[in-house]
Structure 1
Amino acid sequence: MTDWTVIASILAVLGIPYPARPGANPETLTDGVINSQVRLAYAGPTGMTVTWNTFYQLDSPRVNYGFQPHYLPFYAESNVSVTYDTALTYNNHVTLTGLQPDTLYYYLPEPLLFDNATVAPYSFRTARPAGDGTPYSIAVAIDLGTMGSDGLSTSAGEGVPPGAILGPNDNNTMQSLQAVIDTFDFLWQPGDMSYADYWLKEEIEGYLPNTTIADGAIVYESIQNNFYDQMTPITTRMAYMVGPGNHEADCDVGGAKDPAHNITYTESICMPGQTNFTGFINRFRMPSAQSGGTGNFWYSFDQGMVHYIQLDTETDLGHGHVGPEELGGVSNVDAGPFGATKNAQTDWLEQDLASVDRTKTPWVIVAGHRPWYLSYANVSKTICWDCKDVFEPLLIQYGVDLVISGHSHLYQRSAPIADGVIDPNELDNPSAPWYITNGAAGHYSGLSALAAPKPYQRFGLDVTDGVYGWSRLTFHNCTHMTHEYVASKNGTVMDTATLFKDRTCALT
């Protein structure tokens, strides 16, 4: 195997730039560099998948690991080093198996790009075993885009409302998560990473330098790489579990309009590699093989006293429902299907829910990108009625505790609801699922506006509040779970509510 790390180090000493994959030019990148973008994902109860990026395809991506930072006697290899048209890098995936649960491991992928080839080994902690009743928290950040000069910052382009920018002393959501990273076990992002497809909108509004449509693929990919670079302080340390959103489906371009030339851009400008979830498919390896799911689209995993389910609200809805479209927008998503049969996702969901051992994982938490209970003005573009028709009967039947979504760039905590009817017990031992929408993690175009509150809305924050934030879920025991909305700018908890379920604990 060619040792690209050694080659890169020699080139760095000689002052020669590290070469990119064929057809890519790192000199055109917005920030001028790409790091290895190391990221982790749970791979069953005793596994962890390590993913990182290189400029060249690797014959045998390798991860060394062990229990001490300077002694890594174990290793795992794979032959998975993949890319796609317009990508600037290759994505390397290696799964470590047979790990001890709830154990700290040190690891080092090889090769890494030269800019972080000398870093000390990273570390991660494996998942808690099912049935472990130790209290813990997780972080959920949906609709989280690129920060800084490529996205959300203290300035914006022409026509962007003031509420879309950060205050001069505000932390963004990535910084907020990093500040308390030792307080949660993993990060969950059910859709819409990077918002690289807003590049044309940002350019027309004078935020990004002008480029040609032909060079748009390079700008798109450089923003994507900037996002995953920025995420590495988090994704090198803990599992980063993701799901599909509409901005992974194709090149949305953010409703970009050029009034000077009376042009409204559509998905027709999307370059090869930016349609049908291509980047999303290549960049991640979620635990579908371990849970009987499909790719990065739908899967499940256990962590301690909780069973987590990631759903695909973008495609494969089944039962006569093809999938939602961005009605009235610039993009009619034409993606998938990814299941082997028309009802593959719902059939899997029912089997998965039926197999949950509630004595070991009494909590069942479901995430999907799009909501179906929301006080939002542009209902036709946001509410996923097809998702409600397909998923909700199963969530009610099997007693799912919480459904969390994003897509709308705001925060709404609702009451527990079953088929539109508010559970009379509210959060005191309801039989209906509790619904929370939090798509307020932040990206270039800012926050959205809530409409007049629906009867089931219990708390909301939107563009009028101008507060970006993320969700923290804390599982205290088998009967009590707390949701908090954490303001990214200063870490203040702006909303908190605790769900009680009357059941007997049999956890260790």
Structure 2
Amino acid sequence: MVTQGNHEVESLPLGRPFVSYNARWLMPHAESASASNLYYSFDVADGAVHVVMLGSYADFGPGSDQRRWLESDLARVDRRHVGWVVAVVHAPWYSTNVAHDGEGEGMREALESLLYDARVDVVFAGHVHAYERFGRVYNNSPDGCGPVHITVGDGGNREGLSLMFKETSSPMSVFREASFGHGRLRVYNATHARWSWHRNDDSDSTVRDEVWLTSLGSSTGCGPRPCPANDEL
């Protein structure tokens, strides 16, 4: 299951964007009431996990089709029965890497409040060719009712790793490393999941970062404010 990145835009002169992507990667957008193949949602584990795939390079501003669809999609999620809600974007909304700095800011400003109000548990991103995990955050501040933001853009590429992190990192950034690797989100039940990031550079299997996550749907403190302290464990 995929969503588009910057290399899929293909905005050639006099051409239409995403022609090759839409021809080769037909996602279940119609099944999730989306009019565009660039953003959609699906359920896994008998509906226990709802995954929202967003389009970083599709219009996301006020009044856009993507925003209207996202509002409708999240409104249909009943957290009494859906333990986990996960979102995926391409350009990260939070990053301390020099590469692509600020490229996800416009989308964050436009859509972050929708994900926050829906108590989305985790937001995964790529684009930056390195690994970084943030604590729960909302509107550039630690917030126990916000999603955990994780950048996993280090699966391998011809451009190499994004080696330069800012010297002064955000206090919300929990772990960061410019190495090739991959991640695994293992959902155990409606309340608990474990995230692990595996570094691929070593001769032996190496887990460099892992954390237990508690679903916001199960947290009574994440209804009306005030919210609990920032703690994703």
Shorter-chain TM-score tier: 0.7 to 0.9
> Which position in structure 1 is the counterpart of 2:215?
501
What are structure 1's unaligned runs of at least 5 residues?
Answer: 1-240, 252-266, 320-341, 424-429
What are structure 2's unaligned runs of at least 5 residues?
Answer: 220-233
Give CA deviations for 1:155-208 in whole Å, capped at 9, x if unaligned.
xxxxxxxxxxxxxxxxxxxxxxxxxxxxxxxxxxxxxxxxxxxxxxxxxxxxxx
> Which position in structure 2 is the counterpart of 1:422?
142
> Which position in structure 2 is the counterpart of 1:301?
42
Structure 2 counterpart SS, 1:242 = coil
Say whether residues 1:364 and 2:111 are aligned partners: no
Output aligned runs, 1:141-180, within 5 Å: none
Q: Quick one: distance in 2 between partners of 1:384 and 1:396?
A: 16
Please state how far the C-alpha of 1:378 moved relative to its aligned partner.
4.3
> Which position in structure 1 is the counterpart of 2:67?
346
Give CA deviations for 1:83-123 in whole Å, capped at 9, x if unaligned.
xxxxxxxxxxxxxxxxxxxxxxxxxxxxxxxxxxxxxxxxx
Structure 2 counterpart SS, 1:280 = helix
Equivalent of residue 471 in structure 1, options 183, 187, 199:
183
Structure 2 counterpart SS, 1:282 = helix
Does structure 1 conserve the Cα–Cα contact (< 8 Å) formed by 2:142 and 2:172? yes
> Which position in structure 2 is the counterpart of 1:283?
24
Q: Quick one: distance in 2 between partners of 1:288 and 1:312?
A: 12
Please state how far the C-alpha of 1:377 moved relative to its aligned partner.
1.9
Equivalent of residue 485 in structure 1, options 179, 197, 204:
197
Output aligned runs, 1:96-495, within 5 Å: 241-250=1-10, 276-304=17-45, 305-319=48-62, 342-378=63-99, 380=101, 382-423=102-143, 430-449=144-163, 450-452=165-167, 453-462=169-178, 467-489=179-201, 490-495=204-209
Q: Quick one: distance in 2 between partners of 1:445 and 1:404?
A: 21
Instruction: State the percentage of identical aligned residues.
Output: 33
User: Counterpart of 2:111 in structure 1: which amino acid?
Assistant: F
Q: Quick one: distance in 2 between partners of 1:309 and 1:442?
A: 24
Please state how far the C-alpha of 1:442 moved relative to its aligned partner.
0.7
User: Counterpart of 2:214 in structure 1: which amino acid?
Assistant: F
Higher radius of gyration, 1 or 2: 1
**Count of residue pairs the alignment pairs up:** 212
Does structure 2 conserve the Cα–Cα contact (< 8 Å) formed by 1:373 and 1:383? no
Q: Quick one: distance in 1 between partners of 2:159 and 2:145?
A: 37
Please state how far the C-alpha of 1:288 moved relative to its aligned partner.
0.6
Q: Quick one: distance in 2 between partners of 1:347 and 1:498?
A: 33
Q: Quick one: distance in 2 between partners of 1:244 and 1:494?
A: 28
User: Counterpart of 1:457 in structure 2: which amino acid?
Assistant: S
Does structure 2 conserve the Cα–Cα contact (< 8 Å) formed by 1:306 and 1:361? yes
The alpha-carbon distance between structure 1 residues 295 and 344, as it changes in their structure 2 partners (threshold 3 A), is closer
User: Counterpart of 1:371 in structure 2: which amino acid?
Assistant: P
Q: Quick one: distance in 2 between partners of 1:393 and 1:439?
A: 24
Q: Structure 2 length as normaliser, TM-score?
A: 0.85
Q: Quick one: distance in 2 between partners of 1:389 and 1:433?
A: 15
Please state how far the C-alpha of 1:488 moved relative to its aligned partner.
2.7
Please state how far the C-alpha of 1:379 moved relative to its aligned partner.
5.3
Q: Quick one: distance in 2 between partners of 1:374 and 1:404?
A: 12
Does structure 2 conserve the Cα–Cα contact (< 8 Å) formed by 1:281 and 1:295? no
| Bigger helix fraction | 1
Does structure 2 conserve the Cα–Cα contact (< 8 Å) formed by 1:404 and 1:436? yes
Q: Structure 1 length as normaliser, TM-score?
A: 0.40
4+ long deviations beyond 3 Å: none
Structure 2 counterpart SS, 1:347 = helix
Please state how far the C-alpha of 1:492 moved relative to its aligned partner.
1.8
What's the RMSD between the two structures over aligned residues? 2.0
Q: Quick one: distance in 1 between partners of 2:28 and 2:205?
A: 31
Give CA deviations for 1:296-316 in whole Å, capped at 9, x if unaligned.
211001112100000001121
> Which position in structure 2 is the counterpart of 1:26?
none
Does structure 1 conserve the Cα–Cα contact (< 8 Å) formed by 2:60 and 2:67? yes
Give CA deviations for 1:359-403 in whole Å, capped at 9, x if unaligned.
3322000001011111022455x5311111111010111111000
